[in-house]
A and B are shown apart, each in its own frame.
Chain A
Amino acid sequence: MELTNLIIWLIPLPPLLAFFFIVLFTNKNNKLSHSIAVGGAGLSFLGAMYVFYQALTTNHFAEHPFGNAITWLNLGDKPFEIGVMIDPLSAIVLFFVAITVLMIFIYSIGYHNYGQPKGDHDKKGFPPHGAAQDGHTVLSIEPMYARFFAFIGLFAFGMFTLVVSDNLLTLFVGWEIMGLCSYLLIGFWFGKDSAKNAAKKAFMTTRVGDVFMLLGISYLFTEAGTLSFKAIFTEEMISHLAHADSYIPGLSVAGLAGILLFIGTVGKSAQFPLHVWLPDAMEGPTPVSAMIHAATMVSAGVYMVIRMFPLLQAGGHGELTTAMTVLAVIGSITALFAATIAVAQNDVKRVLAYSTISQLGFMVAALGIGAYVAAVFHLVTHAFFKALLFLGSGSVIHGMEHGVLHTGNHKVDPQDMYNMGGLSKKMPKTFWTFLIGGFALSGFPLITAGFWSKDEILADAFANGHMGVFWTLAIAAFLTAFYTMRQITLTFLGKARTKEAEHAHETPATMTTPLIVLAIFAIGFGWVGVPEHFPGIGGILPNWFHDFIAHGLPSFIHFETIHFSWTPLITSLVVALGGLLTGWLVYRNATTAENDPIKKLLGPVHTLLKNKYYFDELYDKVLVKPLAVFSEKVVYEFMDRKVIDGFLHKVAELTFSLGTIFREKFDLPVINEFFGDGTAAMTQWFGEKIRKIQSGNIQQYMIIAVLGAFVALFAFWMTLN
Chain B
Amino acid sequence: MVDYLAILPEIALLVLAAILLLVDIRLKEEGKDTLNWIALFGLVITFVLTILLAQPGEEEVIWGGMLRHDWMAFVFRLVFIAGAAFTVVFSRGWEAIGDRGEFYGLLVLSTLGMTLMGAAGDLVMLLLAIETASIPLYIMAGFSTKDGKSAEAGFKYLLFGAMTSAVMMYGFSLLFGFGGTTDIYALADAIAAGNVPTLPLMTSIILVLVGFGFKISMFPFHFWSPDVYEGAPTPVTGFLSTASKAAGFAVLVRVMLVAFPSVTVEWQTLLAILSAITMTVGNLVALRQTNIKRMLAYSSIGHAGYILMGVAAASSLGVISVVYYIAAYLLTNLAAFGFVAIYYKQTGSDEIEDYAGFSRRSPGLAFAMLFTFLSLGGIPPLGGFFGKLLVFSAAIQADMVWLAVVGVLNAVIALYYYLTVIKFVYLRRQEGDEVPFPVAKSQSLAIIICVLGVTFLGVIMAPMFELAQKVASSFF
Interface residues of A (CB under 8 A from B): 71-76, 172-173, 176-177, 180, 190, 196, 200, 203-204, 207-208, 211-212, 214-215, 218-219, 221-222, 247, 631-632, 635-636, 640, 696, 698-702, 704-709, 712-713, 716-717, 720
Kindly list the 6 A-B residue pairs having the minimum CB-CB distance in the complex, ordered from nearest.
A708-B220, A701-B223, A635-B284, A211-B408, A698-B156, A636-B288
The answer for the CA separation of A74 and B464 in the assembled complex, in Å, is: 11
- Please, which residues of chain B bring their CB within 8 A of the CB of A172? 380
B199 in contact with A221 (CB, 8 Å): no
A72 in contact with B287 (CB, 8 Å): no
A218 in contact with B396 (CB, 8 Å): yes
The answer for the CA separation of A706 and B224 in the assembled complex, in Å, is: 13
Q: Which of B1-9, B186-194, B239-247, B397-405 contacts A (4 or more CB under 8 A)?
A: B397-405
Task: Say what secondary structure dominates the interface of chain B.
Answer: helix
CB distance from B344 to the nearest CB of A (A): 21
Given contacts A172-B380, A214-B408, A716-B206, 6 further A-B contacts (CB under 8 A): A72-B462, A74-B469, A211-B412, A702-B159, A705-B221, A708-B220
- Please, which residues of chain B bring their CB within 8 A of the CB of A177? 380-381
A716 in contact with B270 (CB, 8 Å): yes
Knowing A176-B380, A211-B411, A635-B284, the reply to whether A218 touches B206 (Cβ < 8 A) is no
The answer for the CA separation of A406 and B392 in the assembled complex, in Å, is: 59
- The digit string for B214-247, where 1 denotes a CB below 8 A from any CB of A, is 1000011101100100000000000000000000
CB distance from B160 to the nearest CB of A (A): 6
Knowing A176-B379, A211-B408, A698-B156, the reply to whether A705 touches B210 (Cβ < 8 A) is yes
The answer for the CA separation of A713 and B164 in the assembled complex, in Å, is: 16
- Please, which residues of chain A bring their CB within 8 A of the CB of B266? 716
- Please, which residues of chain B bring their CB within 8 A of the CB of A207? 412, 415
Residue of B nearest to A708 (CB): B220
B393 in contact with A698 (CB, 8 Å): no
The answer for the CA separation of A215 and B410 in the assembled complex, in Å, is: 13
The answer for the CA separation of A190 and B425 in the assembled complex, in Å, is: 13
B381 in contact with A173 (CB, 8 Å): yes
- The count of chain B contact residues (Cβ–Cβ below 8 Å) is 56
Interface residues of B (CB under 8 A from A): 155-156, 159-160, 163-164, 167, 198-199, 202-203, 206-207, 209-210, 213-214, 219-221, 223-224, 227, 266, 270, 274, 284-285, 287-288, 374, 379-381, 389, 392-393, 396-397, 401, 404-405, 408-409, 411-412, 415-416, 419, 426-427, 461-462, 465-466, 469
CB distance from A87 to the nearest CB of B (A): 24
CB distance from B229 to the nearest CB of A (A): 13
The answer for the CA separation of A698 and B409 in the assembled complex, in Å, is: 31
CB distance from A206 to the nearest CB of B (A): 11
11 contacts between A and B (CB under 8 A): A73-B461, A74-B462, A74-B466, A173-B380, A222-B397, A631-B284, A698-B227, A701-B156, A712-B206, A716-B206, A716-B270
CB distance from B381 to the nearest CB of A (A): 5
The answer for the CA separation of A208 and B408 in the assembled complex, in Å, is: 10
- Please, which residues of chain A bring their CB within 8 A of the CB of B415? 207
B288 in contact with A708 (CB, 8 Å): no
A708 in contact with B219 (CB, 8 Å): yes
CB distance from B413 to the nearest CB of A (A): 8
Residue of A nearest to B203 (CB): A713
Residue from the set B380, B404, B465, B466 with the largest chain A CB neighbour count within 10 Å: B380
A707 in contact with B220 (CB, 8 Å): yes
- Please, which residues of chain A bring their CB within 8 A of the CB of B210? 705-706, 709
The answer for the CA separation of A172 and B380 in the assembled complex, in Å, is: 9
B164 in contact with A705 (CB, 8 Å): yes
- Please, which residues of chain A bring their CB within 8 A of the CB of B419? 200, 203
Q: Quick one: which of A76, A208, A699, A705 contacts B412, CB cutoff 8 A?
A: A208
Knowing A207-B412, A716-B270, the reply to whether A219 touches B461 (Cβ < 8 A) is no
The answer for the CA separation of A485 and B401 in the assembled complex, in Å, is: 50
- Please, which residues of chain A bring their CB within 8 A of the CB of B284? 631, 635
- Please, which residues of chain A bring their CB within 8 A of the CB of B379? 176, 180
CB distance from A495 to the nearest CB of B (A): 43
B160 in contact with A702 (CB, 8 Å): yes
- Please, which residues of chain A bring their CB within 8 A of the CB of B427? 190, 196
B285 in contact with A636 (CB, 8 Å): yes
B224 in contact with A717 (CB, 8 Å): no
- Please, which residues of chain B bring their CB within 8 A of the CB of A176? 379-381
Residue of B nearest to A211 (CB): B408
A218 in contact with B461 (CB, 8 Å): no
Q: Quick one: which of B224, B412, B461 contacts A698, CB cutoff 8 A?
A: B224
- Please, which residues of chain A bring their CB within 8 A of the CB of B405? 215
Residue of A nearest to B289 (CB): A636
The answer for the CA separation of A434 and B437 in the assembled complex, in Å, is: 51
CB distance from B426 to the nearest CB of A (A): 8
The answer for the CA separation of A698 and B266 in the assembled complex, in Å, is: 30
